[in-house]
């Protein structure tokens, strides 16, 4: 396993994000709340974490939903996966949305999302007049689905 060192400030009372198992790709991050947040059906909220990170150049942190929250309660992350750029130094906040028919309460310390660290490739555009052909060609949405 490759490891990268990342500076972090934790202003919450919660533990630092951690991998729950040896095979985990993401680290659970927790809500940092002064009081519970009630999410009504179809309501969204910006939930603070109390975490500030300093990613190395050419890395990003991705914010992804937690599968347990999604299947059990219909709570997911908007703008998913969300990207935290290497030059961002503000607090990590999570956009949660309730897509269930029931209200859901987010409490301080609740695990609300996963944080994934990924390397980033930079692209350099080469303007051309014609693209090379491929088997798929211009086939778009549903092109490879059932016939």
Written in H, E and C, the secondary structure of the chain is CCCCCCEEEECCCCCCCECCCCCCCCEEEECCCCCCEEECCCCEEEEECCEEEECCCCEEEEEECCHHHHHHHCEEECCCCEEECCCCCCCCEEEEEECCCCCEEECCCCEEEEEEEEECCCCCCCCCCCCCCCCCCCCCCCCCCCC
Please report the pLDDT score of residue 136 as a whole number.
79
Please report the pLDDT score of residue 14 as a whole number.
98
Averaged pLDDT, 46-72? 96
Please report the pLDDT score of residue 115 as a whole number.
97
pLDDT at 43 exceeding the cut of 70 = yes
Please report the pLDDT score of residue 141 as a whole number.
73
Please report the pLDDT score of residue 145 as a whole number.
67
Confidence of residue 45 (pLDDT cuts 50, 70, 90): very high
Please report the pLDDT score of residue 147 as a whole number.
58
Q: Tell me which fold the domain 7-119 belongs to.
A: Deoxyuridine 5'-Triphosphate Nucleotidohydrolase; Chain A (2.70.40)
Averaged pLDDT, 56-66? 96
* Predicted confidence (pLDDT) per residue in 102-146, tens digit: 999 999 999 999 999 999 999 999 999 999 998 877 877 776 666
**Single pTM value for the model:** 0.88
Confidence of residue 89 (pLDDT cuts 50, 70, 90): very high
């Amino acid at each position: 396993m490759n490891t990268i060192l990342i500076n972090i400030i934790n202003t919450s009372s919660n533990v630092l994000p951690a991998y729950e198992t040896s095979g985990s790709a993401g680290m659970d991050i927790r809500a940092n709340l002064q009081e519970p947040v009630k999410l009504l059906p179809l309501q969204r909220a910006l939930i603070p974490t109390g975490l500030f990170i300093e990613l190395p150049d050419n890395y990003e942190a991705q914010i992804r939903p937690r599968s347990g929250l999604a299947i059990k309660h219909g709570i997911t992350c908007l703008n998913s996966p969300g990207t935290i750029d290497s030059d961002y130094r503000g607090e990590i906040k999570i956009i949660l949305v309730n897509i269930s028919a029931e209200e859901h309460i987010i409490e301080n310390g609740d695990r609300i999302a996963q944080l994934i660290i990924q390397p980033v490739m930079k692209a350099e555009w080469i303007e051309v007049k014609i693209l090379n052909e491929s088997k798929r060609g211009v086939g778009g949405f549903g092109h490879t689905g059932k016939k």
